[in-house]
Amino acid sequence: MNCYMFPGQPLSPNATLPDDEDFREVAEMARYRACFDLHDFAWLGEKWTENVKLQVYGVSMSLYHARRLRREGARPDVIAEHSMGIYPSLAVSGALPEGDVLEIAYRAGCLMSGMGKAVEYALGCMVGLPLEPVLSIAENNGVYPANLNTSRHFLLSGERRGMEAAEAEALENGAFSVRLFPCDAPLHSPLMAGIEAEMMEIFSDYRYLEPAVPLMNHIDQGYLAAGDLARFMTHELALPVYWERCYKALRNAGVDMFFEVGAGDSLKKYNRWIESEALRR
């Protein structure tokens, strides 16, 4: 049983890009639906932030890799999404056309970029500590758990100054590593509620079809229907991503082949960690 896994926003673009008909078609859609030139990694009109660039780039690469996998005959029996991986998931599941999901990523990214004009936000990747100390560190410093990827790999989200204090506390408590990344908005935290109504307006602009391939959500591991999608995409921005739960639910559902469909291999690494930890028990 095959699963396509769609990762969230990459940290950087690849040094080289594909050169084939599928990529050229995706790049053309990015130009016209998201005002973005993939080859030059540059805006064609109004200049938005680096994070919005990476969001459009990430969705584009997921759409491209899904096309290539299908050409190779590896079709999905189920789809899983991580954070902004929900956008390309919609296209591959048949809920929306590819051009629409590129436009959604662009519009949502532009809206989120406005949050960073008033407050400086950051995401923090913490590796090595178990969940309880991480939750305590978040609470102590006024930040929030954003991604629960494995039993010892977490992302926190919040204001930059709080994230810096959380970084110091995590290292003092024995974290293997902590890295902070600037971001436009405090993704997967309650702070996103400030733009919830505007996000819902964006997501409600589109007509969703029922997914032709079961699409598992990263919050409660249920399967999304057409009527759920606009509401889910709005609310998931204020809630954590539970990837470890997703992976275990997929395995329990009978998935034995996982394909990471996008830039990088972060989800594959999380899966290997989850499996290795299960073997150690």
pLDDT one-digit tens code per residue, 40-85: 999 998 999 999 999 999 999 999 999 999 999 999 999 999 999 9
| Distance (Å, whole) CA 164 – CA 82 | 25
Collapsing DSSP states into helix, strand and coil, what is residue 135? helix
What are the b/e assignments for 191-222, b being 16+ CB within 10 Å?
Answer: bbeebeeebeebbeebebeebebebbbbbebe
pLDDT of residue 215: 98
pLDDT tens for 216-229 read 999 999 999 999 99
For the cut 90, the answer to whether the pLDDT of residue 125 exceeds it is: yes
The CATH superfamily of 2-116+189-280 is: Malonyl-Coenzyme A Acyl Carrier Protein, domain 2 (3.40.366.10)
Tell me, rounded to whole angstroms, the distance of Cα 9 from its chain centroid: 5
Q: How deeply is 87 buried, as exposed, middle or buried, from its count of CB atoms within 10 A (0-12, 13-18, 19+)?
A: buried
pTM for this predicted structure: 0.95
């082949």: which residue's tokens? 257
> Which residue has tokens 């993704």?
187
Radius of gyration of the CA atoms of the chain, in A:
18
Q: Are 89 and 105 in contact (CB under 8 A)?
A: no
Q: Is the pLDDT of residue 88 over 80?
A: yes
Fold classified for 117-183: Alpha-Beta Plaits (3.30.70)
**Phi and psi torsions of 47, nearest 5°:** -90, 120
**Domain residue ranges of the chain, discontinuous segments joined by +:** 2-116+189-280, 117-183
